[in-house]
Amino acid sequence: MPKKTSPINVDPRVRRTRRLLREALVSLILERDFASISIREITERAEVAYITFFRHYESLDVLLMEVLDEGLGELMTRIETLAKQSDTSNLETEGRLIFEYIGQKADLFRILFKSQSVTRVRKKVVRNIAAVFQKSCLPLARSGNQTTTAMLSNHIATSLLALIEWWLDNKMTPAPAQMGRVYKNLIIDSTVGVVSTVSAMS
């Protein structure tokens, strides 16, 4: 795996090589499934020596995870902020910021949805998003029912990813501001609105 060193201490040539390899993988995986891509194709597109790949990564899977981790960490931070403010007037603003970020990292998220080979990654993303809402969404926490909280948090997570996927397929329209309102009304408000009902059924 790539060495865990501070970005400040990483040689600029190393950062450049890793960036070229990541960009090459992204461009190839948008053309066809990850499983059909070879290391040699990546190095040729990145215009680096084949042996250079192994100085930075143990395998294509490791490179793929770095590509995904690069963007998902910031997305999780934004979602956590949104969850903590889920009962405030700032929810639409936070939703807008999430979709603005998705727009900036569109290729990354197209990979997440496009390739069958990263299904396990998508499942992990759902679990992580659900965990954030389970801990941070006050209306869910107030239900006092662990099963209800887990169920509705998972619903929020899967609904968010489905909405993001639809938005990317729809050429990122409507605008992020409108998507923030859709997110608030369609996912958060409607889910929180059934907390008491679901709790009573559990």
Residues 70 and 19 in one domain: no
Rounded to 5 degrees, φ, ψ at 165 are -60, -45
- The rounded distance, in Å, linking the Cα atoms of 68 and 117 is 13
Residues 77 and 37 in one domain: no
Tokens of 67: 């590509």
Is residue 2 situated within a structural domain?
no
Residues 53 and 123 in one domain: no
In 3D, which of 84, 76, 89, 83 has the Cα closest to residue 124? 76
Helix axes 106-114, 60-84, angle to 10 degrees: 110
Instruction: Provide the domain limits for residue 51.
Output: 7-58
> Which pLDDT score, from 0 to 100, does residue 45 have?
97
- The rounded distance, in Å, linking the Cα atoms of 65 and 79 is 20
> Which pLDDT score, from 0 to 100, does residue 68 have?
83
Is residue 1 situated within a structural domain?
no
Range in 8-12, 48-52, 177-181 the model is least confident about: 8-12
Residues 52 and 91 in one domain: no
Residues 138 and 42 in one domain: no
> Which pLDDT score, from 0 to 100, does residue 44 have?
97
Task: Return the H-helix or E-strand segment holding 15.
Answer: helix 12-29
- The rounded distance, in Å, linking the Cα atoms of 97 and 178 is 11
Residues 105 and 25 in one domain: no
> Which pLDDT score, from 0 to 100, does residue 85 have?
62
Residues 33 and 77 in one domain: no
Residues 22 and 91 in one domain: no
> Residue 71: which pLDDT band, with cuts at 50, 70 and 90?
confident
Q: What is the CATH number of the domain that holds 128?
A: 1.10.357
Residues 46 and 70 in one domain: no
Q: What is the CATH number of the domain that holds 23?
A: 1.10.10.60
Is residue 109 situated within a structural domain?
yes
Q: How many domains does the chain have?
A: 2
Residues 112 and 194 in one domain: yes
* pLDDT tens readout for residues 17-67: 999 999 999 999 889 888 899 999 999 999 999 999 999 999 998 898 888
- The rounded distance, in Å, linking the Cα atoms of 1 and 62 is 6
152 neighbors 86 (Cβ within 8 angstroms): no
- The rounded distance, in Å, linking the Cα atoms of 183 and 185 is 6
Residues ≥6 apart with Cβ < 8 Å to 54: none
* pLDDT tens readout for residues 128-171: 889 888 877 777 777 777 888 889 999 999 999 999 999 999 99
Q: Which residue has tokens 């603005």?
A: 100
* pLDDT tens readout for residues 75-91: 877 777 766 665 555 77
Residues 146 and 194 in one domain: yes
